[in-house]
Amino acid sequence: MINKSIDVSQNGSAYTFITNSGISLEKRFKIVTSPEVVTKSQKTVSDLSVYSSDRIIYVNNSTVQNGDLLLYDAMGRVVEKVPFKANKETAISTKLQSGFYVAKACTSKNTVIINFILK
């Protein structure tokens, strides 16, 4: 059942699934609760993660290296470059226009890239 959507609202919002017991986490599906485009994304690589919520981009850097967050527009142009500190979560508020963007967080050892939509 790869890339399949199931409208659970048709049958009383009920959907049953079975998972294997164990320690490993299996990311099976997203639950979307509104017909809007999902605008929250998150990506983690080791000790560096990036996610967006509303018009704020968060960089959680648990490494000892400082880094830079680069924001690209849909044409691939860098529209913002914001530094972030080591061992800290940084909240970056942006005044960019609504649209599709790519955020790339880089330290000397890690890189994380996410796609997101600003409303």
CATH of the domain at 97: 2.60.40.3080
Q: For a pLDDT cut of 70, what percent of the chain falls above it?
A: 61
Buried b (16+ CB within 10 A) or exposed e, 12-44: eeeeeeeeeeeeeeeeeeeeeeeeeeeeeeeee
- The answer to whether residue 112 is domain-embedded is yes
Q: How many Å apart are CA 117 and CA 103, to the nearest integer? A: 11
Q: Where are the beta strands (DSSP E) in 27-66?
A: 42-45, 48-53, 56-61
pLDDT digits 0-9 by tens, 52-89: 888 889 999 999 999 999 999 988 999 999 999 999 99
Range of the domain at 49: 37-118
Model confidence at 38: pLDDT above 70: no
Average model confidence (pLDDT) across the chain: 78
pLDDT digits 0-9 by tens, 2-36: 555 556 665 555 556 666 666 666 565 555 554 44
Count of beta carbons in the 10 Å neighbourhood of residue 105:
26
Tell me, what's the pLDDT at 5? 59
Placement of tokens 């005044």 in the chain: 95
pLDDT digits 0-9 by tens, 85-110: 999 999 999 889 989 999 999 999 88
- The answer to whether residue 14 is domain-embedded is no
Instruction: Identify residue 48 by its one-letter amino acid code.
Output: L
Read off the pTM: 0.62
Q: How many structural domains are present in the chain?
A: 1
- The answer to whether residue 16 is domain-embedded is no
